[in-house]
Amino acid sequence: NAGVMQNPRHLVRRRGQEARLRCSPMKGHSHVYWYRQLPEEGLKFMVYLQKENIIDESGMPKERFSAEFPKEGPSILRIQQVVRGDSAAYFCASLATGTAGYTFGSGTRLTVV
Amino acid sequence: KNEVEQSPQNLTAQEGEFITINCSYSVGISALHWLQQHPGGGIVSLFMLSSGKKKHGRLIATINIQEKHSSLHITASHPRDSAVYICAVRLPQFYFGTGTSLTVIP
């Protein structure tokens, strides 16, 4: 069981480009949470997904950000037309259905230049 | 207003000291987590609590549901314990404290 896998670990994008961050939860886990950690700030909830469903996206910026967790494959956090303020560490965590087990990925550090 | 407040923000200790980090929250929760984040590294979930006390090695976590308060204790602290410790409450989505930066000096 490889744990929660996030890739890439580091991502550099120019302003205006798109960033795609991937999260593969632990085997058997069907709930995924995305969090953002801005420089010198704490973690902030962004979105909570189950397979093929967005359960809570109250922490997502209204524009340019979207997330999905398809039936097959990893969860994707997509940021369109990135700006410098999007530079942050993005973490995902997965939770197995019916349990309280909760595991974090190593994060993707996005730098917008 | 933060749903989760941690104290202290920064803590420096001598190796071997007993350390306590506190967390207070203002909302009804289904669970509270203590997380550890090393510099430049990922996040490790240390404990998940909904009542009482849990112990793992030199780490002890307690929670008082009535008082909406939790503590993380480290006994016989060691330099490798140096990290940021984060309290998070689950509603089901998570709200995080701002973290306590711990430095243990040899």
Low-confidence ranges of chain B (pLDDT < 70): 1, 41, 92
Record: contact B45-A102, CB cut-off 8 A: yes
SS3 A38: coil
Q: pLDDT (tens digit, 9 = 90+) per residue, A69-78?
A: 999 999 999 9
Q: pLDDT (tens digit, 9 = 90+) per residue, A2-27?
A: 689 999 999 999 999 999 999 999 88
The CA distance from A19 to A13, in Å, is: 7
Q: Is B96 near chain A, with CB under 8 Å?
A: yes
Q: pLDDT (tens digit, 9 = 90+) per residue, A52-91?
A: 999 999 999 999 999 999 999 999 999 999 999 999 999 9
Out of B41, B44, B94, name the one closest to residue A33 (CB): B94
pLDDT of residue A99: 53
